[in-house]
Amino acid sequence: MALTPPGKVASMRLSNRFSLIISAMIFLTAVAPFPTLAEEIKVGVILPLSGKLARFGEIERDSFLMAVEEINGAGGIHERMIDLIVEDTASRPETGRSAIKKLISEDKVVVVGGGCSSPVTYEAAALAQEEEIPFLVNTASADKITEMGWEYVFRLNPPVSRYPIALTSFLKHVARVRTAAILYEDSHFGRYGLKKFLRMCKKSGFKVVMRRAYETDRVDFKPLLIRLVKKRPATVYLVAHGTETAMIMQQAMELNFNPRLFVWRAPGLTIPESYGFAGPASEYLFSPALWSSNLPYPGAKDFYDKFLERFNTAPDYHGAEAYAAMHVIADALNRAKPLTPEAVRESLADTNMMTVFGPVRFISYGKKAQQNVPPTLLLQKIGGRLEVVWPERVATKKYVCPVPKWSER
């Protein structure tokens, strides 16, 4: 029998050990596709960075990135950095589904955030549930997103059915109005706002004494306002852009038209931090909203100031939701053991924390599951500043209602 030289035996042993190591590495990669100790933690985000919602998507992307920079700068998650991978949905459902599929299949993320448009987010959420990857929705508001029994889908922001709560309770229990009139832009935005307010009036028992659409390029609102004067509504609800709202308020002042309150429904509930566009005529104007930088939430004003300084634009509620969502995800990652999608899902389900967007705790109620329930707000311009006036538990100023007559201001 041929003998193998001693040197060759040693070489074969080393080769066998190396083969075993390689085989073990291949096996571990096959059975554990999620982060190992030395790797960064991959977090996916889907947002509309092109298409009709690109403006909001960019605000949310920048807010996510700000939060990740802060988290990584503070040491990351157990000294492991977060690798944020942002995919563009182009504001289209099919693109959104492809985007989240890439994040799950190719990038091997352990959790996904984002979700702006409801139709896009619904499709993405269905796939996240199918692939068993936790998805924290931060903006999309369609009720059905958290009504499907999807255990891997969570939502930070309130569903659209809760948007009118602050305004409705204020009109019923504080202003005690019984009649309302509606002026709305003759556009998809205007008709959508009209439909929502009419539904609220019917449910609350408010009588709508007049509703009128106006052309998008209209500048003279006095004929409409004169007709309103004759109807004597307690509330005038404006579904309008800022420029038209400024003209309506200025002309109402010139006509000395004095309802108990004016309420402005801005596009997308995106409210500027000041009503300076209408000057003194916008004093005491009310607006329903989802967030304001002067809310008594830790870090809210600081986030707003840093974002404004860095990007030269206001983050509004879109930015606050995205920034808060990233911190909620980081909190869940920090508590997850091991760092797998299932463990992250369990950590998200146990979330109970305060953010710049308010308290976050995912609960079930009615048909909803894993839904956060932050308060919706009513803002009012008082003393030239935009203040939160309702609900009282988060108010920054006492409301003024009924508003003073123009001649008394």
Split into its structural domains, the chain has a count of 2
Q: Are 185 and 155 part of one and the same domain?
A: no
pLDDT for 37 equals: 46
Secondary structure (H, E, C), 303-327: HHHHHHHHHCCCCHHHHHHHHHHHH
* SS3 at position 122: helix
Asked if the bond preceding 402 is cis, omega within 30° of 0, the reply is: yes
Q: For residue 393, give both structure tokens.
A: 């538990």
Are both 180 and 142 inside the same structural domain? no
Residue 242: per-residue pLDDT: 87
Q: Establish if 199 belongs to a structural domain.
A: yes
Residues 280, 196: one domain?
A: yes
Does residue 84 sit in the same domain as residue 170? no
Q: Name the token pair of 367.
A: 């048909």
Nearest to 342 by CA among 58, 160, 134, 64: 134
185 and 281 in a common domain:
yes
pLDDT for the residue 158: 97
Instruction: Say if 389 falls within a structural domain.
Output: yes
DSSP 3-state helix, strand, coil percentages of the chain (rounded to 5)?
45, 20, 35
Eight-class DSSP state of 340:
S
Q: Identify the pLDDT of residue 18.
A: 36
On whether both 84 and 181 belong to a single domain, the answer is no
Beta strands in 228-343 (DSSP E): 235-239, 261-265, 286-289
Whether residues 46 and 153 fall in one domain: yes
- Provide the CATH number for the domain around residue 315: 3.40.50.2300
First to last CA, the chain: 113
- Residues in CB range of 20: below 8 A, 6 or more apart: none
Find tokens 């969502």 and name the residue.
325
Structural domain range at position 255: 165-289+376-408
Q: What is the pLDDT of residue 35?
A: 52
In a domain, 139, yes or no: yes
What is the largest distance, in Å, between two alpha-carbon atoms of the chain? 117
Cα 374 to chain centroid distance, Å, stands at 11
Residue 54 lies in a domain: yes
pLDDT of the residue at 388: 96
Q: Residue 237: what pLDDT?
A: 97
In this prediction, the residues of the chain whose per-residue pLDDT falls under 70 are 1-38, 268, 271-278
